[in-house]
Structure 1
Amino acid sequence: MSFNLHSKDIIIAVKNGNHDAYSHLYRTYYDKLCKYIYSLTLDYKQAEDVVQDTLIDIWVKRDKLNINSSLNNYLYRSVYNKFINLSKKNIRKQLLLNELHMEAIVELEGLGEDRKEARLIAIEKIIEQLPPKRKEIFILSKLKNYKYKEIAVMRNVSVSTVESQIRKAMITIRKEMLLLILTGMTIMVFMLIP
């Protein structure tokens, strides 16, 4: 099938699930869109991720495609919006990590060496008790510093699954540590009662 990029043929074909039309769209626009996003990020890997995610979204959500402008304008606007959303998400994530890091430093500075060591051992035990998949993803991210997308590829899961598993691991660790702290405080209170 021949596609006329100046008409709605390719859009209609993609909406109808035509793999050839989607492949044509991908081949025609991939490099151009990567160069455009690279001009914003100066990181070719990130540019590729943004473009790939956008083009995958188009295929996955093809039945909901509603393009009121030219295909060219739609694609450039889509990758730009994906880039902006990713940037906002990364900024929020970095701010949260910075906040958690500062809280941990302040908390550890207030502890004696014995208590710091006990706290670290307790955290290690909690991590060891996480479900195997969650533990592995958490260790890859927080201890081995792999990016979410890298972990997703390595473990053959989606990035959202990686995010979810790390979030659940953090909730478990915080909850268990809070219980340990509260239990320790309760024991100290009972020791003070004559």
Structure 2
Amino acid sequence: MQRVEEPTDEKIMHKVKDGQLSELTTLFERYHIPLYNFFLKLTIDKSTSEDLTQTLFYRILRFRHTFNHANGSFKPWMYQMARNIHADYCKQKMRISEVVKSTNSDTEEVPLEEGGVEEQDFEKLQAALLELGPIDRELIVLSRYEGLKYAEIAQIKNMSLSAVKVQIHRAMKELRALYFKQL
């Protein structure tokens, strides 16, 4: 029996670029969960992560004409767009935060549910991840959680491969220290 190979992301994106918009469904099915998880690890908010994921696919559709396979593969192009969306979200959140501070409104803290040892470890890791600076956190999320190769991260961040390796090494070392400081 002959096996049918699935089309590459790049081939699908070229179809989308050529006006076959329904082909974006395939890319959505492949990437909506990893992208949701990417945003969730950066924002720690399920609703916001859903919104940012939806916004990303809207932007992929809107800016499909900018995709150029000669400049790299689809995945780094998509994650660069995701980074931009997250940056826009952070800027907007800071503006809202300034408005809230100026009106002296207090926010209500929602207590975390208690769970088993594994959930506590996950919470400690999340807390340590949140203590990292945004650049280090993003590097760890892209490399460890999203599985991007260092070369892809270098392309996304417009950095040299060696600089990415050094920064990720330092970020992991700091994350390890922050995590074990909580124990």
Q: Normalized against structure 1, the TM-score is what?
A: 0.46
Larger Rg belongs to: 1
Q: Normalized against structure 2, the TM-score is what?
A: 0.48
Pick the structure with more helix per residue: 1
The higher-RCO structure (CA 8 Å, 6+ apart) is 2
